[in-house]
Amino acid sequence: MPLSQEERQEFLAQPHIAALAVAAGRDRGPLNVPIWYQYAPGAEAWVLTGPESEKMRYIKEAGRFSLMVQRLEPTVRYVSVEGPVTRITPMTDELHREMVARYLPPDKVDVYLKAAEAYGEQVAVYMRPERWLSADLGDLSSL
């Protein structure tokens, strides 16, 4: 059963690991990689990546990407959202901390941020959700 607009936005706002997919050119399937993301209902979704990464190159070429998140319990549920890139900005310390704090326990945030300095420059890529797919398939444990 499809989720309502409110349900799908709330689900996407939870800290799932997303699968980011972006067209990878002619004669290739899409690039599809796991990624941390940030989203608040009604806002843009955003991800962090290296400005010279393969992912960033394809995002620039395509001008859009999709994110898909799912869970298996208590019910099988997923949300997929696709849309155009609205802006690309340099990653700030505030953005980096916000993303890391979304996924890691408080006592691990500073440790991770220190280690992540080795990753080099990053950018925030923003996407306006335009097309949504969603469903809650219910409790499948009894099948």
C-alpha 55/C-alpha 49 separation (Å) is: 8
Question: Which pLDDT does position 93 carry in this prediction?
Answer: 96
What domains can be seen in the chain, in order of their start residue? Answer: 5-91+121-129 (2.30.110.10)
Tell me the average confidence (pLDDT) per consecutive run of 10 residues in the chain, 143 residues long. Answer: 95 98 94 98 97 97 98 92 98 97 98 94 97 90 63
Q: For residue 44, give Cα distances in angstroms to 64, 77, 109, 125, 130.
A: 13, 21, 24, 10, 10
pTM equals 0.93
- Give the Cβ contact number of residue 86 at 10 Å: 13
Question: Which pLDDT does position 142 carry in this prediction?
Answer: 63
Question: Which pLDDT does position 139 carry in this prediction?
Answer: 80
